[in-house]
Amino acid sequence: MKTAIFTEENFRSSMDTVVKKWWNSAIRTVCFRGTDGTRLKGYCAVNPEASASIILLHGFTEYTEKFTEVMYYFYQEGYSVFMYDQRGHGKSGRKVKNPFLVYVGSFDEYVDDLNVFVTRVVRHYTPNARLNLYAHSMGGCVGALYLEKYPEIFSRAVLSSPMLKIDFGSSPMVLVNSLAVIAKIAGWGPQPAPGFTPYSSEPDFKHSCATSEARYLYHLALASEESRYHTSGASYGWVRAAMQATSQLQRDARLAAVPILICQAGLDNVVDNEGQNSFAEHAHFVTLVRFPTAKHEIFRSTEEVLELYYDTIFDFLR
């Protein structure tokens, strides 16, 4: 990797100086609309020395600015970088009034948004560049669905802690499925699902998805200052759509015909890693690398893990 990973000690100063300067000079903001007219906010950094372009997809309740460090590393490695806030997240449009809640009728909406972004935005700025994908968590679910539907678009894909199976904890699947059916019949789709809690800016690093406290606290402060980053929970509709999506992507795993790297977090307590194992077994050309000491957000690990993480990713993409 060309660029050194920021350490715990210098993380905040590096973000406030190096990355902020890069962001202000290199990033172009764009607005585009999904096929149903939903307004979406995108971010582009065209690298004049790019070897390829890479599209990043964030996870559930996340947003582009949480990935500025990741975007910076990709840019320094020689990529043009593209990302957007997925519908219901960040500064993009929403279909429910509750600002803390994520609702979607089907994950096809996410897939269609990605296709619009590829064809109308990314191809506009880098019409002939080779395309790669980096997708985290829920973004990994969307990415896998996209790879199955459009196998000819991306050259390679990195799925980081992808949501290929939902972890419902100790809840029996019979109960979960029954509740999903009842919610649909009762019209509860836009209502908060069980376990929903409003956004809180109180720090709780111990129970977070990160192992880098510096990264956790930095982004907690960032989110606290922007109300549109306070999304914190799922609706019944989103849960039902996610269950359908993970079932579909597992069923159609063989349709994903490009080389895929799955980065698996050994201490993940957000998604069920068995879904990643199953997908890797049934899809073609999948490499699965496990990071034993990482939590769900591998990209917010300490520098020792991140050095191996990015070396693995860039070696794979090359």
Please, where are the H alpha helices in 37-186? 68-76, 108-116, 123-125, 138-149, 173-186
The answer to whether residue 312 sits within a structural domain is yes
The answer to whether residue 6 sits within a structural domain is no
φ and ψ at residue 259, rounded to 5 degrees: -60, 130
User: Domain containing 288 — which CATH number?
Assistant: 3.40.50.1820
The answer to whether residue 204 sits within a structural domain is yes
The answer to whether residue 53 sits within a structural domain is yes
User: In whole angstroms, what is the distance from residue 270 CA to residue 92 CA?
Assistant: 24
pLDDT at position 174 is: 44
pLDDT digits (tens, 9 = 90+) for 147-158: 999 999 999 999
pLDDT at position 185 is: 64
The answer to whether residue 164 sits within a structural domain is yes
pLDDT at position 183 is: 63
The answer to whether residue 3 sits within a structural domain is no
The answer to whether residue 1 sits within a structural domain is no
pLDDT digits (tens, 9 = 90+) for 52-102: 999 999 999 999 999 999 999 999 999 999 999 999 999 999 999 998 999
Residues of the chain under the 70 pLDDT cut? 168-186, 188
pLDDT at position 137 is: 98
| Report field, pTM of the whole predicted structure over 0.85 | yes
Domain count of the chain?
A: 1
The answer to whether residue 266 sits within a structural domain is yes
Cross-strand partners of 80: 53
- The three-state secondary structure class of 46 is coil
Q: Which domain holds residue 237?
A: 11-317
pLDDT at position 181 is: 60
Q: Are 294 and 265 in contact (CB under 8 A)?
A: yes
